[in-house]
Amino acid sequence: MYAIIETGGKQFKVSQGDVIRVEKLGVAAGSSFKFDKVLLAGEGDDVKFGAPYIDGASVDAEVIAEGKAKKVIAYKFKAKKGYHKKKGHRQPYTSVKINSLNV
């Protein structure tokens, strides 16, 4: 069984036991979290679609850790003008393990 959930403006296809990285949730490591924005859930020919979300469906997950991704460098340069600008950014994330899908 799998489900497609929405969190942090992105969509993720998950199934039981998956470990995914989502936008920072602000939840302590070791605690549980419930994703209630389930867009699609099913297995094989038995698939339920939401409009936009499935009523009463949720995905239970356990927060593993929070951290920051690798640094992304934004570098601006204009030829023959002596213009250089370098800026770095590390996006925060939360790693979660999917425990169960409730449809």
pLDDT at 70 over 90: yes
Judge whether 92 and 68 are in contact, CB under 8 Å.
yes
Q: Rounded CA gap, 38 and 4, in Å?
A: 6
pLDDT at 103 over 90: no
User: Domains of the chain: which residue ranges?
Assistant: 2-66+93-102
Q: Where residue 10 falls among pLDDT bands split at 50, 70, 90?
A: very high
pLDDT of res. 64 = 97
Coil vs helix vs strand at 57: coil
Residue 29, C-beta contacts closer than 8 angstroms, at least 6 positions apart: 63, 64, 65, 66
Each residue's pLDDT tens digit, 17-61? 999 999 999 999 999 999 999 999 999 899 999 999 999 999 999
